[in-house]
Amino acid sequence: MCPDPDVFTGVLVVTKGAYTSLDELIRLKFQGQGFSFLPRQPIHSLLAGRHASRLRGRGLNFEEIRVYQPGDDIRSIDWKVTARTRKPHCRVYTEERDRPALIVVDQRINMFFGSQRAMKSVTAAETAALAAWRVIGVGDRPGAVIFNDSEIVEIRPHRSQQRVLQILNSVLQQNLALRADSTVRSCPEQLNKALERVVRLATHDYLIVLISDLDGADEQTTRRLLTRLAQHNDVLVSLIYDPLETALPAHGRLVISNGELQLEFDSGDAMLRKRFAEVFSTRLERARQLLQRRQIPVL
């Protein structure tokens, strides 16, 4: 997901700048509607795309086996019991009342970057707010794992407005702590550490929304952690990136820094710009393919 334009699948992203605010995150409550995490999405919905989704939606709890009655769905007939008793029996299910969700939010220093309307960290924070409001809006239980380069915060799922506010405050706290001159070193390994926490928390039938630029993603991320999560839960990834990461402007000599080192280069060099675009495009497509191979939707 690219912070520009300021649109999240038809939902306006409100903040422009380096940081978000609690007021802005709360305001997104009124825009966290009109999309669903369930299958069979309309084309304008959150999960619309070229690839089929295997998201399960709410689960069903088995209640009992009873004698078939006129009007029962014939697909619910239990043929083994029917053969044994020589009377048609059907299985009765009730829909789960709610479902736990974990919103995994990346607020590392690599997310503190933005060339146009907002930092990637702001886009991630507001995407998390939209997801949290939507989860509580459909009666499910929002929780979160929020991480930066030095800290991982766990918030267990609970169905209440207060839990949403707790999530938003925790996201905001890490968002406001980001600084270009921060002495905290970038920690690519923190992505996998956060996902290890999610593996321990998400036992079964969770909805897991990972919001990150996937910096530090490796074979362990996709083949072990995300694959394990997707075996018994529904996982989707909101991939955050900035327009400048996709293509360098031809503005002549530029200086870039990671907070420790500086590099000066000539962005007017057409071959350099082409190579830069190819590197990012390859990285993005590789991430998409790895996730989609495991039937994990990518936004």
Residue 96 in this model has a pLDDT that exceeds 90: no
CA-wise closest residue to 235 among 37, 7, 59, 58:
37
Average pLDDT over residues 249-268: 76
| Alpha-carbon dihedral angle through residues 10, 238, 50, 224, given to the nearest 10 degrees | -160
The rounded mean pLDDT for the chain is 83
Structure tokens at 51: 């690839």
| % of the chain with per-residue pLDDT over 90 | 43
Q: Distances in Å between the alpha carbon of 67 and those of 15, 91, 222?
A: 58, 9, 46
Q: Among 40-44, 198-202, 260-264, 289-293, which range has the highest average pLDDT?
A: 198-202
Q: Give this prediction's pTM.
A: 0.76
Average pLDDT over residues 139-144: 94
- CA–CA distance, 139 with 4 (Å, rounded to integer): 31
Lowest mean pLDDT: which of 55-64, 178-187, 267-276? 55-64
pLDDT at position 255, please?
78
- CA–CA distance, 9 with 44 (Å, rounded to integer): 7
Average pLDDT over residues 233-247: 89
Q: What are the tens digits of pLDDT across the range 12-53?
A: 444 567 999 999 999 999 876 766 665 444 434 444 443 344
| 3-state SS, one letter per residue, for 283-298 | HHHHHHHHHHHCCCCE
- CA–CA distance, 144 with 157 (Å, rounded to integer): 7
pLDDT at position 95, please?
64
- The C-alpha angle with vertex 120 and arms to 115 and 126, in degrees rounded to 5, equals 130
| % of the chain with per-residue pLDDT over 70 | 82
pLDDT at position 43, please?
35
CA-wise closest residue to 144 among 114, 173, 179:
173
Q: Distances in Å between the alpha carbon of 8 and those of 3, 184, 225, 299?
A: 9, 30, 27, 10
Residue 125 in this model has a pLDDT that exceeds 70: yes
pLDDT at position 16, please?
61
Strand order across the 141-147 sheet: 152-155, 141-147, 100-106, 207-212, 234-239
E strand residue ranges, the chain: 7-8, 11-12, 60-67, 89-95, 100-106, 141-147, 152-155, 207-212, 234-239, 253-257, 262-266
- CA–CA distance, 150 with 174 (Å, rounded to integer): 10
pLDDT at position 49, please?
40
Q: What are the tens digits of pLDDT across the range 172-224?
A: 999 999 998 888 888 999 999 999 999 999 988 899 999 999 998 888 888 78
- Parse the chain into domains and list their residue ranges: 7-53+97-241, 60-95
CATH class of 7-53+97-241: alpha beta
